[in-house]
Amino acid sequence: MKIDNFNDRVAVITGGAAGIGRALAELLQEGGATVVIADLPGETLDATALDLGITAIACDVSDATAMDSLAAQVMQRHGKVDLLFNNAGVGFQQSLYKMSLRDWRWVFDVNFWGVVHGLNSFLPHLTTNPDGAYVVNTASLLSLYTNSALAAYAASKYAVLAVTETLAREMELTDGKVGVTAFCPGPIQTTIYGSLDRRDQRYGPPPTSDATDDPVMKALGHIMDAKRMSARDAAQIALDAVRNGRFWAITHPEYTQQIAPEHDALMAEIERQRSSQALSKAPLA
């Protein structure tokens, strides 16, 4: 399934007030789509809606009831949903041994459960859309590999990728009228790097870490200092995947060098085990 023309399509974007979400909104609107952005309440959401002249609905994706309300409002106003972008997310960097359970819950509540809530609330409408529909889940390059100080973030994105791969297979087994893309951005010019400033009080005060005396955080430095792609360029890559019905949308192939050696090591171990089992079953001479 692909959607190569956004004219008269209704698109819902979580995390749509800034960064990649806003860039998606701008590009979709330019393509003729009716766009609804959802994000935490505040000046950024209101300003983006005003700037673009689009509908904004305050919504915390970690709240299943709020997501149900979002879907109901969209259906009431527009009568359909054609494109769902589960894009809301938070960034978090911390040494694994210094993380609290509240840190883990915050990251997973937004990054993972936000996607699950989005699918649970919108799939009934997407799968019954007679014109076909599309889902883009924002995972990350760090759904393919991880690095120091990124345990919670990468784990949440690994989980998003697993859900997205499963969804794609299930949609193929049905009528094939819902396309699915796993969007895996690398370093992008977004506000995700300031996520701790927007952390809800229920997760407690944000942690502090001095990278100067933490070797784990120091090892993250080259990632944080990497050149960042514009949000608009990243959003264009995601929309190109939608237009062409591609599962993968990857912004920074140059940052994926460690995937191949990890895959090779896994396959080598599988082959070693296969050979070992074959030898153990071989008849004695």
Task: Report the pLDDT averaged over residues 166-180.
Answer: 95
Q: Which residue from 171, 252, 157, 232 is spatially nearest to 2, judged by alpha carbons?
A: 171
38, part of any domain: yes
144, part of any domain: yes
Q: How confident is the model at residue 207, as a pLDDT?
A: 75
270, part of any domain: no
137, part of any domain: yes
Q: 153, 193, 203, 255: which is the annotated catalytic residue?
A: 153
Q: How confident is the model at residue 226, as a pLDDT?
A: 64
Residues 6+ apart with CB under 8 A from 18: 39, 44, 48, 190, 191
Q: How many domains does the chain have?
A: 1
134 is catalytic: no
- Assess whether pLDDT exceeds 90 at residue 227: no
Q: How confident is the model at residue 172, as a pLDDT?
A: 95
pLDDT tens readout for residues 20-72: 999 999 999 999 999 999 999 999 999 999 999 999 999 999 999 999 999 99
151, part of any domain: yes
- Tell me the longest C-alpha to C-alpha distance in the chain: 81
**What domain range is 131 assigned to?**
10-256
196, part of any domain: yes
Q: How many angstroms separate the CA atoms of 224 and 228, rounded?
A: 9
Q: How confident is the model at residue 7, as a pLDDT?
A: 98
Q: Is there a contact between 94 and 153 (Cβ–Cβ < 8 Å)?
A: no
280, part of any domain: no
**At 241, which CATH number?**
3.40.50.720
Eight-class DSSP state of 285: -
261, part of any domain: no
Q: Which residue from 66, 67, 70, 69 is spatially nearest to 56, judged by alpha carbons?
A: 70
Q: How confident is the model at residue 39, as a pLDDT?
A: 98
Mean of per-residue pLDDT scores for the chain = 92
From the number of C-beta atoms within 10 Å of its C-beta (0-12, 13-18, 19+), residue 273 rates as exposed
Q: How confident is the model at residue 280, as a pLDDT?
A: 74
